[in-house]
Amino acid sequence: MTIIDRLLQFIEIQNISINKFAQKIEVSNAYFAKQKKNNANIGSQIIEKIVREYKDLNLEWLITGEGQMIKNNEPIIENKSQTDCYLLIEKIKSLEKELLLKNEQIDSHRDHIETLKKQLTDCNNDKKFLQTSVFTQKNIKV
């Protein structure tokens, strides 16, 4: 995993957009996408801005991938990383929020489908009525 990959993971865990992150450290919105696409490194000036803005980000983790993503002043209990647990909790919250939104969209689509089905039934009933009406009996096409 590269520095860019770890940084994108950190951004996701922070539950902010890449654009918001870029604005906060004063780089262009496309900077990280360009670096990722070109498999390029992040300059030391950018890393400095990131660390100054996000004081809880563990610089060692960002650069080497070793240690915990989030600085933690409390001791780790029973070799379980509290940061890992925090990350899992945050990911669960994010997925639950996404699931809720998707369920709302599904419900909305179901309602819309039912409305369209009713309109289709009404159209079919109107067509049957017109086909049996006086107009069709007089060879008037409807």
- 7 with 52, same domain: the answer is yes
- 90 with 122, same domain: the answer is yes
Residue 132 confidence (pLDDT) = 64
DSSP three-state, residue 77: strand
Structure tokens at 12: 């996701």
Residue 110 confidence (pLDDT) = 92
Number of independent structural domains in the chain: 2
CA distances (Å), origin 128, targets 38, 51, 117, 138? 63, 72, 16, 16
- 8 with 59, same domain: the answer is yes
- Residue 27 belongs to domain with CATH number: 1.10.260.40
Residue 57, beta-bridge partner list: 70
Range of the domain at 110: 82-137
Q: What is the pTM of this model?
A: 0.49
57-114 per-position pLDDT tens digit: 998 998 898 888 888 754 444 445 667 787 888 888 878 888 888 888 888 889 999 9
Among 33, 23, 28, 26, smallest CA distance to 7 is for: 33
- 86 with 53, same domain: the answer is no
